A and B are shown apart, each in its own frame.
Chain A
């Protein structure tokens, strides 16, 4: 049973516009959520995170929104740039992270010039 779901395998966005990546989860015990970005032939790199006690976290062009009642989070990238083309993974954990992360299947974001 997949506990973290990213239902869009790919997303194409024009350069300069907003990219919105979505993620849903089923496990109510998750209390911390993270987004990772992955380029081919590299390991995932941490992008931004949010605690379950917040509903928004912003870092430069990246904003993550959390809707606990809907068990839904989204990553907004604005404006989108060509270097943002990558696979984005949504991840979740329980507590301090001792038992690792549960990942979604990823969304391949393609920024069109």
Chain B
């Protein structure tokens, strides 16, 4: 089944403890993105990647890192999470000139 898989679905962590949210797509898509969804703010882009080893900042990149070593994987790294990064995170992928397919989301709580 063609899909974008994020793990974990739910995560509660403490301030300052490094974490990684994984994202994998099995559709051979070139483009991948990370978004966060917050009440009243909609979906805001964190980082995006045009292809392997090509990444760039979105609208809200502070406190996040990404890497794209392989086409299928696009992990989101929080080196030192803070409570303001408590949010619902979505990974998405797309081929050129098509719509993005989204994962099911990761609900992160930083205490």
* Interface of A toward B, CB cutoff 8 Å: 6, 9, 34, 36, 41-46, 49, 89, 91, 96-106
CB-CB under 8 A from B33, the residues of chain A are 100-101
Contact partners of A96 in chain B: CB under 8 A: 96-97
B69-83 interface with A by 8 A CB criterion: none
Chain A residues, Cβ within 8 Å of B58: 100
B35, B56, B100: the one contacting A97 at CB < 8 Å is B100
Q: Which residues of B contact A (CB under 8 A)?
A: 4, 30-31, 33, 35, 40-45, 48, 50, 56, 58-59, 90, 92, 94, 96-105
**CB of A21 to closest CB in B, whole Å:** 14
* Other contacts beyond A43-B92, A100-B31: 16, CB < 8 A: A6-B42, A9-B40, A43-B103, A43-B104, A44-B43, A46-B101, A91-B43, A96-B97, A97-B97, A97-B98, A98-B30, A98-B50, A100-B33, A100-B45, A101-B43, A101-B45
- A37 to B85 alpha-carbon distance, docked (Å): 24
Say how far A57's CB is from chain B's closest CB, in angstroms: 13
Q: Which residue of A lies closest to B51 (CB)?
A: A98
User: Are B102 and A106 in touch, CB under 8 angstroms?
Assistant: no
Query: Across the interface, do B102 and A44 meet the contact criterion of CB distance under 8 Å?
Result: yes
Q: How far does the alpha carbon of A34 sit from the alpha carbon of B92 in the complex, in Å?
A: 14
B58 to chain A, nearest CB (A): 6
Residue of A6, A42, A105 most packed against chain B (CB within 10 A):
A105
Which residues of chain A are within 8 angstroms of B40 by Cβ–Cβ distance? Answer: 9, 105
Residues of B within 8 A of A91 (CB): 43
